Amino acid sequence: YNDNVSSSNEKWEMTIEGLRPHQNLRELTLEGYEGVKLSSWLPLLANLVRLQLVNLPTSQQLPPLNQFPHLKEMKLSHLPCLEYIINDDVDGSKFLKSSSSSTRTVGSIHISSSLQQLQLQHLPELKGWWRVDDIADENQVNQVVLPSFPCLSELTIEDCPKLTCMPLYPNVERLTLRETSWKPFEQTGLMSANTTTFTVENHIEASSSSSSSSSSSSAFSTAAVSSSPLSKLDVLYLGPCSDVDPPESLPNWMKCLTSLKKLDIQYNDELKYLSPVIQCLTSLQELRIENCEELIATSDGDSDSDSIKWEALINLRRLEFVHQQNLVTLPEWLQRVTTLQSLHVNGCENFTAIPNWICNFSSLKRLSLWSCPSLKSLPGSMSAFTSLQSLLIFWCPTLVERCERPNGEDWPQIQHIPNVQLH
């Protein structure tokens, strides 16, 4: 760069402008760049399949994503000045249902229809995918229909507290939400077969140097919204919710997650109850609860009617309680989950007792107890626990001493277990 350039930002911009990578480049990672503007050659990389922009402290705008018709993976991380993915203003009326037709087409709203994996991480000022004009008539709010990512299968949104508007993702298979709004998730879940079908025109703007630019610019791919939203969702990580009024229980629209196999709830201080939605997650195989101080594990299973709801989890194989300081003993509803094969209790400092009914688990093969200093002994029924194949007790000082071979007080109750590990 020219030494006469006074601005540090301009020096970064001049340096990267001189790189000029080949137009057939398929993967690009730009990290630690401190220019305000991205290079003019970036939109010319029409063959990009993977794009990562990481730690760009001053960048405020992204290149037009419709310039990357083959883009399958995109990661945006630590862009503190980014407010919108697409910086052009979009007329809010384009998102309204048409009363004359069950199918709508909205042109020039680019949503990267080829995108399969998307990571949005540590974007504190990100507000939305587009800069959408306000819809003046409040009666029109329920008529808003947003476009969808037709191919998106993996989505991670972390530390994006202001993000409330983005394309829906009805076909996602793996979803992580931490320190962000649940509104787009809710909007996706509330889609149904009876709602308006929404079609998006994804115009492909070829570069001016392409010989087929005139024909490509008018081409478009059609992507229809799935009639069964979130029917493919397999893994769900739910962290803290940034909404003003976060839910106290799993919302009813989550009943549509009939294919969900793994649910991981972390650091969610507002969530108190899993019932009654949990009974609808009949495909669930793994449930993990970590640092959810208000989620009182026994409160939604004290009554017989609530316990029956947990009986619906006919496929649950693995259950983990991690750093649940309100967990004193195993919740009563757990007796209803007869398919459980692995139970893990970790870092629960107030966990003091394992109930005698644990020996009734005919399918349980692995029991792990980690960092539970208040747990002093095992139940007397352990000797009848014939299905258990592995018992792991780590960093539970008193309990480890009682289980030591051959003189530990509890050793006679566990000596029949093939794999006993103490630390």
Q: How many CB atoms lie within 10 A of CB 365?
A: 16
Q: What is the pLDDT of residue 308?
A: 57
Instruction: Give the pLDDT confidence of 40-64 residue by residue, as tens digits.
Output: 899 899 999 999 999 999 998 898 8
C-alpha closest to that of 175 among 154, 189, 161: 154
Residues sharing a CB contact under 8 Å with residue 139, sequence separation 6 or more, in sequence order? none
> Model confidence at 88, in pLDDT bands (50, 70, 90)?
low
Residue 288 predicted with pLDDT over 90 = yes
Q: What is the pLDDT of residue 144?
A: 60
Residues sharing a CB contact under 8 Å with residue 220, sequence separation 6 or more, in sequence order? 107, 201, 202, 203, 204
Q: What is the pLDDT of residue 143?
A: 55
Identity of the amino acid at 334:
L
What letter does residue 163 receive in the DSSP assignment?
A: -
In residues, how long is the chain?
423
Stretch 342-371: mean pLDDT:
96
Considering only the top CATH level, what class is 317-422? alpha beta
**Contact criterion met (CB below 8 Å) for 302 and 271:** no
Residues sharing a CB contact under 8 Å with residue 7, sequence separation 6 or more, in sequence order? none
Q: What is the pLDDT of residue 200?
A: 37
Instruction: Give the pLDDT confidence of 321-334 residue by residue, as tens digits.
Output: 999 999 999 988 89
Peptide bond connecting 21 to the previous residue in cis, omega within 30 degrees of 0? no
What is the value of pTM for the model shown? Answer: 0.85
Q: What is the pLDDT of residue 19?
A: 87
Residue with tokens 């919108």: 84
Rounded CA separation 105/81 (Å): 32
Instruction: Give the pLDDT confidence of 137-188 residue by residue, as tens digits.
Output: 444 445 566 788 999 999 999 999 999 888 899 999 999 999 999 988 988 8
